């Protein structure tokens, strides 16, 4: 009998790629998503390009009755919990939404799992829990001091999950801290489809490259980095997805002691500056991309980069895709789907 994985938020950018990798690795997948920032078309596309089709259930992680019905009607072996809000700026303007969806949604899910005896969970967290890092590369046990309500919700859920995992019968869980996920499936069939003006660098550059926006603004040219622009650890979403499959295998094969949680960074370990990303994009599309210098964006740290040793030692996982491939795959998705999934 194959194992069945529940992916909350499985229709979103990262979730759709994880669903695809799980199906291609022989798992059955149930996607539970309220479609607040995703399209059911992603699920249809995943079914088209993968070895299987996920079951899709529309629902919200704060809805205990919906979760209980799901666990009662499907034999779930493990959960990947991705459902949540993720816009840093919006979390400052509307913190209560973030605590409600991200924190209350997670506790509702954990309650339902405890009730139905589901014991394994992989949680989608973020390197942003560290705030401004004091040392580089960033290790999992470095101090955490989030600087936005979004980051605080991720850290709170990490703490709740760690405590629940200590006492849940047979529980083991893994917290994956993402650096900057970008790119798209090489087929160009699934990818990131941001609502409105993109906040993040890759989707913004993609829209400038496509002529949908006039000019990239480079936020900050006076950072203490070699070229003055901020450095991030961009990771291809397919590498990220493969990391989740490794984490699920690790838990299901009981390679982790019961009643423990492990925190693992998912990054490449190689940083790229905004100026380097801009150049990599110009090379990927074979044309100039208009850009102008702008002031720093409030709250941005100069440099983020993962220490990847634990992911390698524990999961045997390492990122494979280069920055050039991230740009090429993101660009293919943008060209094939100029309006994303459309309405």
Stretch that binds ligand WQD, among 2-10, 198-206, 250-258, 306-314 (CB under 6 A): 198-206
- Does 274 bind ligand WQD (CB under 6 A)? Our answer is yes
Residue closer to ligand WQD (CB basis): 166 or 297 = 297
- Does 86 bind ligand WQD (CB under 6 A)? Our answer is yes
> Closest separation between CB of residue 256 and ligand WQD, Å?
25
Sequence-ordered list of residues with C-beta below 8 angstroms from that of 96, at least 6 positions apart, any chain: none
Which residue in 183, 140, 147 sits closest to 308, CA to CA? 140
* Dihedral sign, Cα of residue 94, residue 267, residue 233, residue 32: negative
Size of the site for ligand WQD (CB under 6 A): 18
Among 88, 161, 241, 280, binds ligand WQD (CB under 6 A): 88
User: Rounded to whole angstroms, how far apart are CA atoms 24 and 329?
Assistant: 19
Using CB under 6 A as the criterion, what x/- string covers residues 105-124 for binding ligand WQD? --------------------
Catalytic residue from among 98, 150, 178, 304: 150
- Does 200 bind ligand WQD (CB under 6 A)? Our answer is yes
Structure tokens of 85? 């809000």
Residue closer to ligand WQD (CB basis): 27 or 234 = 234
Structure tokens of 53? 């089709």
- Does 23 bind ligand WQD (CB under 6 A)? Our answer is no
- 150 part of the active site: yes
Tell me which residues in 43-62 interact with ligand WQD (CB under 6 A): none
Tell me which residues in 211-240 interact with ligand WQD (CB under 6 A): 216-219, 230, 232
Which residue in 259, 223, 227 sits closest to 120, CA to CA? 259
**Taking a C-beta distance cutoff of 8 angstroms, is the pair 35, 9 a contact?**
no
Stretch that binds ligand WQD, among 45-53, 139-147, 200-208, 247-255 (CB under 6 A): 200-208
- The string of DSSP letters for 224-293 reads SSTTSS-EE-EEEHHHHHHHHHHHHHHHHTT-S-TTEEEEEEES-S--EEHHHHHHHHHHHHTS---EEE
User: Rounded to whole angstroms, how far apart are CA atoms 93 and 299?
Assistant: 14
Query: How crowded is residue 193: how many other Cβ atoms within 10 Å of its Cβ?
Result: 21
Tell me which residues in 125-184 interact with ligand WQD (CB under 6 A): 126, 128, 180
Q: Which residues are catalytic?
A: 150
Which residues of the shown chain bind ligand WQD in the complex (CB under 6 A)?
Answer: 86, 88, 126, 128, 180, 199-201, 204, 216-219, 230, 232, 274, 297, 300
């Amino acid at each position: 009998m194959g194992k069945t994985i529940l992916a909350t938020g499985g229709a979103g950018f990262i979730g759709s790629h994880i669903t695809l990798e799980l199906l291609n690795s022989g798992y059955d997948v149930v996607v539970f998503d309220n479609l607040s920032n995703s399209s059911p078309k992603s699920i249809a596309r995943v079914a088209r390009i993968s070895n299987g089709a996920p079951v899709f259930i529309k629902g919200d992680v704060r809805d205990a009755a919906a979760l209980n019905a799901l666990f009662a009607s499907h034999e779930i072996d493990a959960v990947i919990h991705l459902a949540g809000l993720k816009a840093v700026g919006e979390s400052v303007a509307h913190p209560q939404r973030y605590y409600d969806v991200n924190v209350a949604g997670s506790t509702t899910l954990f309650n339902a799992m405890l009730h139905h005896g589901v014991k394994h969970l992989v949680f989608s967290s973020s390197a942003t829990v560290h705030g401004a890092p004091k040392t580089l590369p960033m290790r999992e046990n470095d101090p955490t001091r989030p600087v936005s309500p979004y980051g605080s919700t991720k850290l709170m859920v990490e703490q709740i999950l760690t405590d629940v995992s200590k006492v849940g019968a047979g529980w083991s869980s893994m917290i994956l801290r993402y650096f900057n996920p970008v790119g798209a499936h090489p087929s160009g069939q699934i990818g990131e489809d941001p609502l409105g003006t993109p906040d993040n660098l890759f989707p913004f550059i993609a829209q400038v490259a496509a002529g949908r926006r006039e000019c990239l603004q480079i936020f900050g040219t006076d950072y203490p980095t070699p070229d003055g622009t901020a450095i991030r650890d961009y990771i291809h979403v397919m590498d990220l997805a493969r990391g989740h499959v490794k984490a699920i295998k690790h838990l299901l094969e009981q390679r982790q002691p019961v009643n423990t949680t492990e925190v693992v960074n998912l990054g490449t370990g190689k940083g790229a500056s905004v100026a380097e990303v801009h150049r990599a994009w110009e090379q990927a599309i074979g044309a100039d991309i208009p850009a102008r210098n702008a002031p720093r964006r409030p709250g941005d740290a100069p440099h983020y980069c993962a220490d990847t040793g634990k992911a390698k030692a524990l999961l045997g996982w390492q990122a494979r895709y280069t920055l050039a491939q991230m740009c090429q795959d993101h660009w293919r998705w943008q060209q094939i789907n100029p309006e994303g999934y459309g309405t």
